[in-house]
Amino acid sequence: MSATEIDFYEVLGVSRDADGAAIKSAYRKLAMKHHPDKNPGCTESENTFKAISVAYDCLKDPQKRAAYDRYGHAAFQNGGGPGGAHGNADFGDIGDIFETIFGSAFGGGGGRARPRRGADLRYDMEIGLEDAFHGKSTEIEIEVSKACDTCHGSGAQPGTHARTCNLCGGQGNVRAKQGFFVVERPCPNCHGAGEVITSPCRDCRGEGRVDVPQKLEVDIPPGVDTGTRIRLSGKGEAGPRGAPAGDLYIFVHVKPHEIFQREGTTLATRVPISFTKAALGGSIEIPGLDGEELTLEIPAGIQSGKQLRQRGAGMPVLQGRGRGDMVVEIAVETPTKLSKEQRTLLEQFRELETGDECPQSKGFFDKIRTAFGG
């Protein structure tokens, strides 16, 4: 199977609109299946492995993929292919079409272009409201690229070294005349590295990095909320060929709580009380997230919807001092199951009612009588 004759998308078995994650997943499955170490002496598997490596090297890079989608295999003619680090061919001695026309997002002035930093990564973490209140230290496991142990991040097979690029002379940049201007761009042969790997490491295929599972300790500070980001510097994807690693960002999501709703640092809840407690007054106890019982005094004659505020009983201020408030909304509950004795007492109370006990009701019906002529 030849990657220069077969469509790269067909080689990996993905559609042309597949995203980066789907392309990477397809490549890894095929690479594990056809890796020469798993198929010793099998020429067909070795050729297949080379083909999928070349295809993946092209499609994983947005610039190379854009050039391929636009020009097909013609984008990699004139003496080169998209193999680069993952294949056994350089990316063209003259330069690929995409960089010739559009330039590169990297590079710049004189001297060798700086190595590309590794990509930043995102990890979504879901925690409970109690953990958001107290904070916590937890361990997460993610799969992230790190420097290859076999080549120590160089990308070259042990015992071999990268050679100086013969196109840019090791500078990492080349100059081309366009009309009256001379434009300097990263070298299309070494991609700004100044060096070319002729014998890529078999474990990392010249990347200088491999994907491995890692366990990391994460400290969640008190007061975090949904949307809070925690940055772990240098814990992202390793850069190619020894370049600096990116960062890992932990995105926090706080799960809904059975009792409390959160609005910033304010905790809110709705508490039902009996109509006798509402009429006579009393107290209620609510367990706080700090483990302490919170006692609230209920004034006599309280109505449904009335809110009681307890200062300093809410959520901690993130990276600050103090706590927010707790707001308790009262809901007066009408009894639905009465004993015979309770019903008798309520009937006696009704006979003693004058209408002044419930001023809101009295005022409402007075307005009705006025509005409708008595």
Which residues participate in the annotated binding site for Zn(2+)? 148, 151, 165, 168, 187, 190, 201, 204
Q: Cα(311)–Cα(102) distance, rounded to whole angstroms?
A: 61
Residue partners of 322: CB distance under 8 A and separation at least 6: 312, 316
Q: Which residues are known binding-site members?
A: 148, 151, 165, 168, 187, 190, 201, 204
Rg of the chain on CA atoms, in Å: 35
Q: Is the dihedral of CA 160, 191, 98, 66 positive or negative?
A: positive
User: Cα–Cα distance between 170 and 190 in angstroms, integer?
Assistant: 9
3-state secondary structure of 369: helix
- 10 Å Cβ neighbour count for 97? 19
d(CA 131, CA 127): 6
User: CB of 232 within 8 A of CB of 248?
Assistant: yes
Which position has the token pair 């990564």? 121
